[in-house]
Amino acid sequence: MSTSGFLTRHLARPLYFTLVLLTTVFCLSLLSVAIQDGGLSALELVLLILYAILMLWISASFWTATIGFLLLAFQRLPGERVAPTAEPVSGDDFKTALVMPVYNEDPERVFAGLRAMCDSLVATGKADGFEFFVLSDTREPDIWLQEEQHWRRWSEELGDRVPLFYRNRVENTARKSGNLADFCRNWGGRYRYMIVLDADSIMSGETLVEMVRRMEADQRLALLQVPPVPVNRSSFFARMLQFAGSLYGRLFVAGLAFWQQDTANFWGHNAIIRVRPFADHCGLPRLPGREPFGGDILSHDFVEAALLARAGWKVQLAPDLGGSYEEIPPTLIDYAKRDRRWCQGNLQHARLILAHGFKLLSRLHFAMGVMSYAASPLWLLFLIATGVEAYFKSLQQPVYFFGYNIMPIWPESYVVEMTTVLWVTLALLFLPKLLALVLLALDRTEAARFGGLLKASLSVLLESLMSVLLAPVLMLFQSKFVAAILLRTSVGWPTQQRSDHQTGVLEALGAHGVHTLIALAVGYVTYVKVPDFFWWFTPVLAGLVLSVPVSILTSRTSLGLSLKRAGLFLTPAETEEPQVLHRLEERLAEPSPAIAAPVEAKAFWIRAIMNPRVYALHDVLLHDEPQTRRRRHILEGLVLQLQDEGEDSLSLREKRALLSHREGLHLLHTRLWAAPTLETQSHHANG
């Protein structure tokens, strides 16, 4: 090991944590000077504690980005680079599975993504030894049948060149982690590695090959996470996040890799995993107690990384590997819905922070996961406490003459200190954005990929302004989610839509109406009671008051595309579209397999199962079971219920039951074709 390598290895973490702590202490001392006039009240103590926690969070993020900046500036690591492959990566010796767990996802997008990756992999000439595996946990009958059609179509086309496998799990126990565990239990012995993908993941063939090469090069490496870059969305909101993710993300990733080293984290997808240690150590238990903190471990990725690290395996982040992409929610409301799903899983990690045996850094990952959602209610509390403190201060009348003093004693002003606190906090929040621009200024080629330095600077400015408006809205959303989870109540939001769509007025009013009302009420009270504080508070209030129009406006794809034409929020994935993303577009443009069936106002799955081709394919993918009279009676009852009372009378489970047994399927197909009303309908249509 070289001297610099030794120093980096042993000094990285002490350096990072020292910087974080010193920054926090410094900011805390500034605030304590500003608020401590005449002792420390209970409220001021609360303020200081909240500020200390929040500053730890902010400065950790700040120093990660700053270190990342320094690394990139001095090492000149480009954001999108794939190291050349020096050795053969696969062949007869071992196989790598590309596993994509899916749950009621758009099948067209799922299979188009896989096909694009497959094309890219074949283009490398090193596709041997790779196999694709769709691990479906889909419950919706419509989507289940469509997945099978897509699988059949693509597997026929691929033949034996790159095997494409598909299975639909009978019971979706333990959700995604259970899905992966089921794969390992049944087919894990077939593969040395598995590359875990999300339904919206895209990875280039070169990156896939390189990931395997790196795993082969280090036999103690169990998991290599390749950071995904957000792509492919057109709305203003999503393009803004894509720009931020592409420009600032690389700083953070480089910084994270610097201090996390061999105890990095698993982000759930776009990572390669050594299958055997994963099977040996990553079976997840149910946590004792009831939800939200008990039951199945929801955010499994952090825990799996921690378990691998606990067992002595390396978990690394690959900041220099590009060709890894994901798609993000298109609107602010969808983004919040995704947060709602992730929030509970992350809060559950609070129980694991002090669990026995985990490495210190794994505990830190758990804590940071908790903080990524707990920070919002803490900010909210901090704002409330600041407002209350300001109100009490406003009640105090200055006393100019004490005792026998002839000269007046002027009250001390802490405006300078408070302003310093504010500016330091803002600097920590916004400096990484400037550092990212500096990095672009150092590399003109890279700047051109972001639309040029000027356009990129304008985009950063616009993004910063928008983030000021969006931050209070997300703060209220996340605070509500945290409160709902802690109070064990449901916030009742439907499934998130992944594809581009736009927010309507009613939807925006439903989601943000309360935010606006809160802002108006709080604004009025502070303006009347503490007018000085009101002006400090306006950035937060503005975001909330404008949340409805901002949410609608940022969801507009037309606006996003106009900004793209104007050269704003451009990302390297847009200016130099990678081949794999181009293939994805082409694959998505291809027509879907049509399903011909007699029409009626029936659900897709019923019409599809009437099609003998769909029926026969679904039947062949089911397992044969011994017939029992009781089961037949139940299935007959369900078919009768469907025919007499309509498809809405069946629950999702009952629909699945009909489609999950050959007997039920045969009964359904036959009875649907024997319906007396069939001939009165027009005969064929595409489903």
Partner 1 sequence: MGAGVIDQLDILETPVPSAWSSPEDHATVERRVRLYLNALGVQDPHEIEVLLRRVIERVEFRARLGQLGEPLEVSIEETLRLLDRWLVDELGLDSDPDQISAARAAVLGGHVPGWTGRWSGLNKEPLAESIRAVRFRAVPERAPLTMEPSIIRLCCHHMLRRLLARIGRLLGLWGQRHSTLEVRP
Alpha helices in 291-408 (DSSP H): 300-310, 332-348, 360-395
Number of chain positions touching partner 1 (CB under 8 A) = 60
CA–CA dist 175, 171 (Å, integer): 9
Minimum distance from residue 346 beta carbon to partner 1 (Å): 17
Our CB check for partner 1 shows the closer of 87 and 160 to be: 160
Minimum distance from residue 293 beta carbon to partner 1 (Å): 10
Our CB check for partner 1 shows the closer of 171 and 412 to be: 171
Binding window for partner 1 (CB under 8 A); candidates: 272-280, 493-501, 506-514, 581-589: 272-280
Our CB check for partner 1 shows the closer of 492 and 676 to be: 676
Q: 462, 433 in Cβ contact below 8 A?
A: no
- Identify the residue among 220, 582, 633, 683 touching partner 1 (CB under 8 A): 683
* 3-class SS of residue 197: coil
- Identify the residue among 620, 640, 651, 652 touching partner 1 (CB under 8 A): 620
Binding mask 590-619 for partner 1 (x = CB under 8 A): ------xxx-----------xxxx-xxx-x
Query: Cβ–Cβ contacts within 10 Å for residue 679, how many?
Result: 8
- Identify the residue among 140, 216, 280, 600 touching partner 1 (CB under 8 A): 280
φ and ψ at 211, to 5 degrees? -60, -45
Our CB check for partner 1 shows the closer of 62 and 358 to be: 358
Minimum distance from residue 672 beta carbon to partner 1 (Å): 9
CA–CA dist 272, 196 (Å, integer): 6
Residue 287 near partner 1 by CB under 8 A:
yes
* Cα angle: 450, vertex 451, 453; to 5 degrees: 85
CA–CA dist 304, 589 (Å, integer): 37
Minimum distance from residue 188 beta carbon to partner 1 (Å): 4
* 3-class SS of residue 233: coil
Q: 301, 265 in Cβ contact below 8 A?
A: yes
- Identify the residue among 100, 195, 275, 364 touching partner 1 (CB under 8 A): 275
Within positions 637 to 676, which residues make up the interface with partner 1, using CB under 8 A? 662, 666, 670-671, 673-676
- Identify the residue among 12, 33, 43, 284 touching partner 1 (CB under 8 A): 284
Closest CA to 658 of 609, 623, 616, 620: 609
Within positions 182 to 201, which residues make up the interface with partner 1, using CB under 8 A? 184-190
- Identify the residue among 341, 351, 393, 529 touching partner 1 (CB under 8 A): 351
Our CB check for partner 1 shows the closer of 590 and 625 to be: 625
Query: Cβ–Cβ contacts within 10 Å for residue 457, how many?
Result: 18
Distance from the Cα of residue 318 to its chain's centroid: 18
List beta partners, residue 202. 325
CA–CA dist 347, 366 (Å, integer): 9
List beta partners, residue 166. 134
Within positions 155 to 174, which residues make up the interface with partner 1, using CB under 8 A? 163, 165-167
Within positions 124 to 143, which residues make up the interface with partner 1, using CB under 8 A? 131
- Identify the residue among 92, 624, 644, 648 touching partner 1 (CB under 8 A): 624
Lookup: tokens for 549: 């129009």
CA–CA dist 96, 81 (Å, integer): 22
Minimum distance from residue 356 beta carbon to partner 1 (Å): 4
Q: Which residues of 339-368 are buried (b: 16+ CB within 10 A; e: fewer)?
A: bbebbbbbbbbbbbeeeeebbebbbbbbbb
Our CB check for partner 1 shows the closer of 95 and 314 to be: 95
Tokens 């694009």: give the residue.
116
Residue 411 near partner 1 by CB under 8 A:
no
Residue 350 near partner 1 by CB under 8 A:
no
- Identify the residue among 152, 192, 512, 583 touching partner 1 (CB under 8 A): 152
Our CB check for partner 1 shows the closer of 559 and 596 to be: 596
CA–CA dist 637, 654 (Å, integer): 10
* 3-class SS of residue 525: helix
Q: Which residues of this protein are in contact with partner 1, per CB under 8 A? A: 131, 151-152, 163, 165-167, 181, 184-190, 275-276, 279-288, 303, 307, 351-352, 354-357, 596-598, 610-613, 615-617, 619-621, 624, 662, 666, 670-671, 673-676, 678-679, 683
